[in-house]
Amino acid sequence: MRHLVFAQSVGGVETLKLVFNGPLWSIVLEVYFYLAFPLLLLLIKPLNSLGKVIAAFIVGYILQFLLIQLYLPEAERFDVINLNVPVYTNPLIRGIEFLFGMLLYRAFTFTEVSRNATKTNWIPTLVSVALYILVVMYVHDNIPYQYRSFFLVVPFVTLMIFTLLKLHWHPAENIVRCCTMLGGLSYVLYSFHWPLMEIIQFYNLLPELDSLPLQLSLLMSVLLIVSYLIYKFLETPVRRALYRKVDS
């Protein structure tokens, strides 16, 4: 029932029921954020200049750090088990990242960026990807566990995207279509890969192969195919129908 109503992470860590669909813990948070989206729009409405948006970013970053400190449990060593509920699935802490995405779009509306590019510029992209990899490596080796990825990487990614916009980065139309499809497919894959693997294993649906790489390749192929079918013939038609309903 917790899985069906997206309340899987409400409660203690012993209630997570990770066996069936562990990744649902993050989707739970996203459901909360989208429900709060109209209220968040009212919250950022007074930010009517780029300076105010930047100030809001700084305040949000400091607030997230303080909230992490506030909700840290008593423990000698922090890991995913004792931080899952108080930090990683805490809507107050992680909701700030959702707000960062809204502020990023708000900042974009206050900047004059040409949307008519004559050619694709790959240099800012390659530099940004290289910097992103370096930041992730640095965070993993030098930042305490409770602050690693989201506390340092999320603001960096936000700044990186804004910088790409300012540098007039524009992907080609075919790349946009490809990335849109891969983005939708990846989210379906993330949402369903765990229960699909559980079902495949429970009912022994795939033949046993002698080679582990071949077995993993077969499993991955099945997951990708099923995810594509869900994305193409279930999610996309439903989303388009909802768009038509809203537009009308």
* Domain assignment of residue 52, yes or no: no
d(C-alpha 131, C-alpha 56), whole Å: 24
Q: Is the pTM of this model over 0.85?
A: no
Q: Which pLDDT tens digit goes with each residue over 109-144? A: 887 655 555 566 677 778 888 988 998 899 888 888
* Domain assignment of residue 176, yes or no: yes
Range of the domain at 218: 172-248
* Domain assignment of residue 49, yes or no: no
**Per the structure, how many domains does the chain have?**
1
pLDDT at 203 over 70: yes
Q: Which pLDDT tens digit goes with each residue over 24-71? A: 777 778 888 888 999 999 999 999 999 999 999 999 989 999 999 999
- Interior CA angle at 145 toward 139 and 146, to 5°? 110
- Identify the band that residue 217 occupies on the pLDDT scale cut at 50, 70 and 90: very high
* Domain assignment of residue 60, yes or no: no
Q: What is the pLDDT of residue 39?
A: 92
* Domain assignment of residue 102, yes or no: no
* Domain assignment of residue 235, yes or no: yes
* Domain assignment of residue 232, yes or no: yes
- Identify the band that residue 14 occupies on the pLDDT scale cut at 50, 70 and 90: low
Query: How far apart, in Å, are the Cα atoms of 18 and each of 64, 82, 106, 239?
Result: 26, 14, 37, 29
Q: Which residue has the higher pLDDT, 175 or 184?
A: 184
* Domain assignment of residue 196, yes or no: yes
Q: Which pLDDT tens digit goes with each residue over 222-247? A: 999 999 999 999 999 999 999 999 88
- Interior CA angle at 100 toward 162 and 72, to 5°? 135
